[in-house]
Amino acid sequence: MAARTLYDKLWQRHLVDELPDGSALLYIDRHLLHEVTTPQAFSGLRSAGRKPWRIPANVAVPDHAVPTRKRELGVAGIADRVARKQVETLSRNCEEFGIPLIELEDARQGIVHVVGPEQGLTLPGMTIVCGDSHTSTHGAFATLAMGIGTSEVEHVLATQTLRTQKQKNMRVVFEGQPGFGVTPKDLILALIGRIGTAGGNGYAIEYAGAAIRNLSMEGRMTICNMSIEAGARAGMVAYDRVTEQYVEGRPQAPVGERLEQAREYWRTLVSDAEADFDREEHFPLEALVPQVTWGTSPEMVTGIDGKTPDLSQLAPEKRESARRALDYMGLEPGRPLKGLSIDKVFIGSCTNARMEDLRAVANLVQGQKVHRSVKQALIVPGSGQVRLQAEREGLDMIFRNAGFEWRAAGCSMCLGMNDDRLNPGERCASTSNRNFEGRQGKGGRTHLMSPLMAAAAALAGEITDVREV
């Protein structure tokens, strides 16, 4: 057989049919659901009198609209009427259609993209979909993981297949090793800065190179998570020992003979040495410094030693959007990012709210204090399991003693769909993945960065270089 990429292998393994219009039908192994993008899908099933095709392939968990405080109150503790209705509707729909649900009160509840891998619902070689763009996160496990829309959620529920287009193959090879204070978040932000938010359009990206091989699964997830911000349909990393060890022993992972069988397949989940990629990007890491966004798109990013752009230096087609972004962000052109004072800090989201992120933050802030000029500094674990583990390790006390608020799991301030928000004009150092206008609350100003950089900003009260803390 001709040499194939990992993406091509996953594609061919799940291909059910090729349709006359050039699209294809893929079999879906795992369907994850949350409260925001599923209500109409269930309504659609109901009015068509259809039942889910394969119930155990589905798992639902509320995450976007959940409060991160007073969780002992359960759904009754959700003050916002719309948010409460979303969470209640998810429970009702799951009950009616028999879909397994991890409820708000469940110790496993959390952001769907943190819960899936943690519970072993995400396994190598799967096709995974969810009505959520950051489904690309799961690609870290050598899966084909794609975000889908609400009408596709209905289609997947009803048929266990997805109608989709084959993408081209792109390989991003990170060369060399990142230096001190440079994290997976910095790698992906810098890549987006280079290729742009449309750079990956039409591609599935495979991340490769020694730096990726040396990363933990958590770091790989951070990178795959933001593939969508690079415009790609999916992002993935080849299977290796790191994947194997992470998966073993997870609650839903196979055991015994089935694990042996699965591993035989999993070990094939690498691009063949001779495989051809439609595009290759080589990204040297030696000179990479911690990254910070200055604008309202993830590609509006620079190193911590950088400045907001000098508009006259920009290509004419970039000038207007940069001007608008700077205006929204309340920044002048040509201004250093270092020293910019911040109002709030958000450490959380499906990009950066797993154990390694929290351990790194704890390590940095231990025995120190959040700067008095910072109005609020939130640390929101990605899941109930992350929260429990962090508490076992005493990290919550380190955070609280330093002046951070330690919350319950959910999307929280990553987007303004729950109680955690920015007020107009507030500037936030955030570990999330999107800095669009109003993303964290109307008029809020988001600077994306790594957990280390956000923690350093919390201590300094301003954007600062974590390598100098």
Ligand X SMILES: CC(C)[C@H](C(=O)O)[C@@H](O)C(=O)O
94 labeled binding residue: no
- Pick the binder of ligand X from 23, 43, 89, 133 (CB under 6 A): 133
Binding mask 99-118 for ligand SF4 (x = CB under 6 A): ------------x-x-----
**Nearest distance from C-beta of residue 133 to ligand X, angstroms:** 3
- Pick the binder of ligand X from 35, 118, 132, 154 (CB under 6 A): 132
Task: Single out the segment in contact with ligand X by CB under 6 A; choices: 131-139, 163-171, 296-304, 360-368.
Answer: 131-139
Query: How many angstroms separate the CA atoms of 293 and 285, rounded?
Result: 18
Query: How many angstroms separate the CA atoms of 382 and 346, rounded?
Result: 12
**Nearest distance from C-beta of residue 33 to ligand SF4, angstroms:** 12
Contact 230, 192 (CB under 8 A): yes
86 contacts ligand SF4 (rule: CB under 6 A): no
Q: Which does residue 65 touch among ligand X, ligand SF4, none (CB within 5 to 8 A, set by kind)?
A: none
Query: How many angstroms separate the CA atoms of 185 and 356, rounded?
Result: 12
Please give the size of the binding site for ligand SF4, defined by CB under 6 A.
Answer: 13
413 contacts ligand X (rule: CB under 6 A): no
Residues whose CB falls within 8 Å of the CB of residue 15, separated by 6 or more in sequence, listed in order: 24, 25, 26, 27
Partners of residue 24 on adjacent β-strands: 18, 164
- Pick the binder of ligand SF4 from 45, 361, 414, 456 (CB under 6 A): 414
**CB-CB neighbours of 376 under 10 Å:** 18
411 contacts ligand SF4 (rule: CB under 6 A): yes
18: tokens are 């090729």
Q: What string of DSSP letters covers 6-50?
A: HHHHHHHHHEEEE-TTS-EEEE-SEEEE-SSSSHHHHHHHHHHT-
130 labeled binding residue: no
Helix (H, G, I), strand (E, B) or coil at 170: strand
- Sites for ligand SF4 among residues 63-82 (CB under 6 A): 63-64
Q: How far is CA 216 from CA 221, 229, 237, 245, in A?
A: 9, 21, 11, 10
148 contacts ligand X (rule: CB under 6 A): no
Binding mask 29-58 for ligand X (x = CB under 6 A): -------xx---------------------
- Pick the binder of ligand SF4 from 433, 446, 450, 464 (CB under 6 A): 433
Helix (H, G, I), strand (E, B) or coil at 241: helix
- Closer residue to ligand X, CB minimum distance, 208 or 413: 413
Q: In 3D, which of 462, 430, 463, 432 has the Cα closest to residue 447?
A: 430
- Closer residue to ligand SF4, CB minimum distance, 244 or 437: 437
224 labeled binding residue: no
Q: In 3D, which of 283, 174, 164 has the Cα closest to residue 234?
A: 164
Residue ranges of the binding site for [4Fe-4S] cluster: 350, 411, 414
Interface contacts to ligand X, rule CB under 6 A: 36-37, 64, 132-134, 147, 415
Interface with ligand SF4 (CB under 6 A): 63-64, 111, 113, 132, 134, 349-350, 411, 414-415, 432-433
